[in-house]
Amino acid sequence: MEVLAHGLVGGFWSHCGLSEGVSMLCRPCFSDQKVNARYVSEVFKIGIQLENELERAEIERGVRKLMVDEDGMGMRVRARELKEKIDVSMKGGSTYHSMKSACGAYKTLHFKVVEATISR
């Protein structure tokens, strides 16, 4: 994961799975990947969906648009911003705090059970 999240990674060729905050060249295969690719390319605007046959010229156009063109720069900026928003919501969100509290309660209970078992 560290390699995928490295700052020098400019984009992913993906079936529309994990992104790590970089833009994507999407080539969905089946199921929810097609819906994810539409969201990536049309809603979030952080990637390009390849829809036709995979020919050299189409792949080259997609890579150039993603990595060189001004559109690609915008996609990379939006992908980075979206990742930052998600990171903040995960670290400071209510679910994060609830899980942290539940884990703390579990640890406390576990230590009490261990102490009670040892003192017998």
- Kindly list the distances between the CA atom of residue 5 and the CA atoms of 71, 73, 94, 103, 119, in Å, as whole numbers in the listed order: 21, 17, 25, 28, 48
Would you say 95 and 103 are in contact if contact means Cβ atoms under 8 Å apart? no
Phi, psi of 48 (to 5 degrees): -125, 135
pLDDT value, residue 2: 64
pLDDT value, residue 4: 59
Structural domains in the chain plus CATH codes: 11-93 (3.40.50.2000)
Rounded Cα gap, residues 80 and 70, in angstroms:
16
Query: What average pLDDT does the chain have?
Result: 81
Q: What is the pLDDT of residues 23-77, one digit of tens each?
A: 888 888 888 888 888 988 999 998 889 887 788 998 899 899 988 899 989 998 9
